[in-house]
Chains A and B, each alone.
Chain A
């Protein structure tokens, strides 16, 4: 029988030995709700004030949406993946190739992009077991670079640095501004969904297991955790989530070129979203994503061709100047959750 218990701060539902909590106390969800509402309002306001901002909002959402699963992957595998953009490439190329070959729209290509990302992640998942610490960092760093090389080798398939054109667009209402607004809202929904899912996972029993693995694999193994299973699951699940962003890029721009997403310059942005945002804090990923996307946009519009140099210099300074990231400034005052320290060497 379903047993419902109403307490002062929460409603607890019990069914066949399982338990669900629904927290009523506002202090647990008020800030999240306020920030989510502000984020959703932002593209709507931009639509009327300055539509150019919409593209930056989309970029920011996508940076955050890659960084959030990467934070989960980092926590679950106890290793930092320096090549998450590999899965953007897999998802993006799968969607673009299928869309061009069969004229499929985004809804039809989505499952295939996810499946391709999951399969490629499964293929490379032994890395999380055999390669430790710095070995893992270097191997994952090489994956997107080698994939990029393959896209140049098979130019007849991947069209080299020109990229695949003619991918069916995500939205086509006939009005460009509205298309941008809807794309911004979809990217926002994906990002918020990722944030919610990953936050739930991290705060669940599995999150605790992942934290145990992150803190000490041997200790986690000693207390009965099937570390290989958890590491592979975290790696594959997060890779599938990142693959979806590749799918989004392909259908949003109507083109997909590996040279945009696979080089180190893109990967470093994602890593900096994590580090400058808040050292793999999931909420910090959103802060980092928005900060980096807007900084980049401001520098592009003001500095011209020297922007990549100045952008990299500013990010380097911030990397060293903000030891706990932007979210760390907030967290110092309101310490809420425990996120294990990241170790690369293990």
Chain B
């Protein structure tokens, strides 16, 4: 009994932290731009496959390939912001569908060039082996990922609370018109936010890529988790996102280790989201502000 509790608690914390890393970007973009980045899935796919492409097709080493991938990701984010989000901000259904289409284009292009049989793998392991925590045995790479997730979240919170740009972004997340009135450069901050969300996504993908499955549809899976966490947390509120990530992590760990049915992980999280929405339609935290 105690052994099961240990396993559930350990995995709840580790999975929760990793889900936080996966969903932080999605929540921030919900909170600041007030849109759902339904193209979010392509960010994960590109993080792995662009690196692989630069290594295999252009003969780059791992570090230059990673740097190249980051530069290309930034360029694509900029183009998407300027070409779609900025132009169609008043027509949300167009933004949602357009972003989803971009995600599908990336997924299909990757499937065409590197099908699952291509055996894509990037060696971004920081620590090999596994650690025993009570009765739980967990990969060191995932533990490192969880630790990085916590540190990165703290850095993000400090950035939003302690810096002037963070303050401006929080103001923007509350009221766009008042923000313009007090001289905040809204477009520049939106672009900056588009870049900012790439950090947790890229780090998260690189941390879990050596341990979890890599395939062209991996982005959809991570986006599903990000969506569940964002809805549960209250769409764009970082406090809510943190609580929701660990709640989803706890649900996944309970379903996997207590019920012994890891296949029900996403289903259980969806049921949890629906139950919480019935009680609190606005999610765990109010979504009117980023913090």
Contact = CB atoms under 8 A, between A and B. Distances in A.
Interface in B253-282: 263-264, 266-267, 270, 273-274, 277-278, 281
**Chain B interface category by residue count:** 35 or more
B233 to A, nearest CB: 12
Nearest to A80: B93
A345 B104 CA distance: 23
B126 interface: no
A132 B281 contact: yes
A305 interface: yes
Contacts of A264: 100, 103-104, 220
Nearest to A134: B36
Contact of B267 (A150, A309, A320): A150
A142 B92 contact: no
B238 interface: no
Contacts of B278: 126, 130
A142 B101 contact: no
B97 A135 contact: no
Given A145-B224, A319-B101, A275 B93 contact: yes
Contacts of A152: 263
Contacts, number: 100
B289 interface: no
A268 B97 CA distance: 7
Interface in B139-184: none
A153 B270 CA distance: 15
B96 interface: yes
Interface of A: 80, 82, 126-127, 130-132, 134-135, 137-139, 141-142, 145-146, 149-150, 152-153, 264-265, 268, 271-272, 275, 305-306, 308-309, 312-313, 315-316, 319-320, 342-345
Given A145-B266, A265-B108, 9 more contacts: A131-B277, A134-B30, A138-B231, A145-B220, A271-B97, A305-B112, A309-B112, A313-B105, A320-B88
Interface of B: 30, 34, 36, 38, 84, 88, 92-94, 96-98, 100-105, 108-109, 111-112, 220, 224, 227-228, 230-231, 235, 263-264, 266-267, 270, 273-274, 277-278, 281, 283
5 contacts: A135-B283, A138-B36, A272-B97, A275-B97, A308-B112
